[in-house]
A = this chain, B = another copy of it.
Amino acid sequence: MNGRHAMPHAAFVLEPEAAVGDMLSQIDTPALLLDLDAFEANIERMATLAGKHGIALRPHAKAHKSVAIARAQLDAGAAGICCQKLSEAYPFAAAGITDILISNEFVGEKKVAMAVDLARRVKLTVCVDSSLQVHALGLAARAANVAMDVLVEIDAGQRRCGVRSEVALLDLLDCIGKYSDVLCFSGVQAFNGTAQHIEAWTERREAALRSAETVARYLRCLKTYGFDCPVVTGGGTGTAEFDVETGVYSEIQPGSYVFNDGHYGRLEWQGNNAPAHSLFVVSTVMSAAAPDQIVTDVGLKGIAVDSGLPIVISQSGTSANLMVRRVNDEHCVIESGPDALPVLDTRVLLVPSHCDPTVNLYRRFIGCRGGVVECLWDIEASGLSR
């Protein structure tokens, strides 16, 4: 053999996982598959729910991190988008999306500079729960001669961020008032993440109503002291159907509804409010050396397991006889029930239990319809967590 380095060769570039027109079996794995029929139905279902109640829909881009999906949401009537991090907002702003809420607190000189930078380009709304933030933002906005809208986050029951009393809210409003030339108080951010994943429908509904009561208490306080509060934003995929009926929210901000991950899929739903699974990780059987298991080529770097192990899906739906036993860094070990195990090089579809951290592991969605690749959508904000 004399050819080890003898052949001429083209540029040393990785091809994308798939090309438009590819069949499922041609996709290089692991890859992130978006079932476009289910995705579009999810987009439509949530837009209809919000529209029917006259409530704005501001979908959360932290779930998908993709300009193409944000555009699909805006085309379906969304009022704007949420981002959870300032850096995450950059690709959306660069792509011309003009109304962005950073639904989360941030502090420090570099973060404030990013907010000012964004506020030059888009209608930016930010969240605060501390006067230190307000002072830093106000001074920087003045120095740069830019304006931004400000929401005060209130703790709606999650016990994470947000003010915990009416006094704290009013103190913050005083502080914001000192920068009224550049900071415009526009309302409250009131998301309760804990309520989203309560399994039983009635208990989830009760938690959503309790959050709404908390929000209403703060709103009464604002009214008493003469503050306008045009924006009351909150709610998520698990509680949206209840949130829209409470009368307290001006807009809802669900994110996962476009995908419906395994964790949301385990909840009890009523009527047609359950979103459909649209997000799958495609993996390939890479080893079948043992008689009682297969190993596919996706691990912790391609699928998040913080909310449980992935579910194996066969062509005809959930495959109860194929169970994921463990996920290592680069391997997914699947054990078999009575069914025969798929052979080497078979594609195995997995429903990730948690969409947000799974999507963040990839650079593009492979959009499929009827088993054929229809589009590749960049995940521009992948890895942007600052």
Q: List residues of A whose CB falls within 8 A of some B CB.
A: 1, 3-7, 9, 12, 14-15, 17, 26, 28-31, 62, 84-85, 87, 90, 93-94, 104-108, 110-111, 114, 117, 119-121, 123, 129-130, 132-133, 144-147, 155, 159-164, 168, 181-182, 193, 284-290, 293, 295, 297-302, 304-306, 327-331, 333, 344-345, 354, 356-357, 360-363, 382-386
Chain B residues within 8 Å of A363, by CB: 383
A342 → B minimal CB distance (Å): 12
- Count of chain copies: 2
A108 to B30, CA, bound (A): 12
Q: What residues of B have a CB within 8 angstroms of the CB of A9 in the complex?
A: 117, 120-121
Q: In the bound complex, do residue A160 and residue B356 qualify as a contact, i.e. CB atoms below 8 Å apart?
A: no
Q: A160-B333, A330-B84 are in contact. Are A12 and B130 (CB under 8 A)?
A: no
Bound Cα distance A7, B141 (Å): 12
The minimal Cβ–Cβ distance linking A239 to chain B, given in whole angstroms, is: 16
A155–B12 CB distance below 8 A = no
Shortest distance between the CB of A358 and any CB in chain B (Å): 10
Q: Contact: A306 with B300, CB < 8 Å?
A: yes
Q: A1-B182, A84-B329, A385-B298 are in contact. Are A105 and B286 (CB under 8 A)?
A: yes
**Residues in B whose Cβ lies below 8 Å from that of A93:** 12
Chain A: interface secondary structure?
Answer: loop
A356's closest neighbor in chain B, by CB?
B329
- Residue in B closest to A300 when the chains form the complex, CB atoms: B357
Contacting pair A382 B385 (CB below 8 A) = no
Q: How far is the CA of A12 from the CA of B119 in the complex (A)?
A: 12
Asked if B182 contacts A331 (CB within 8 A), the reply is no
Our pick among B12, B145, B328 for the contact of A6 (Cβ within 8 Å) is B145
- A103 CB to closest chain B CB (Å) equals 10
Which chain B residues lie closer than 8 Å to A385 at the CB level?
Answer: 30, 298-299, 301-302, 330, 361
What is the minimal beta-carbon distance from A363 to any residue of chain B, in angstroms? 6
CB-based contact B356/A289 at 8 Å: no
A131's nearest neighbour on chain B, judged by CB, is B344
The answer to whether A87 touches B14, judged by C-beta atoms less than 8 angstroms apart, is yes
Contact B14 A286 (CB under 8 A): no
Out of B1, B104, B121, B329, name the residue touching A12 (CB < 8 Å).
Answer: B121
Interface pairs (25), CB distance under 8 Å: A1-B181, A3-B145, A4-B123, A5-B121, A7-B146, A9-B121, A12-B121, A31-B386, A105-B287, A106-B297, A107-B286, A130-B288, A130-B289, A132-B344, A155-B289, A160-B333, A161-B286, A161-B289, A163-B289, A298-B385, A300-B356, A301-B357, A301-B383, A329-B356, A361-B385
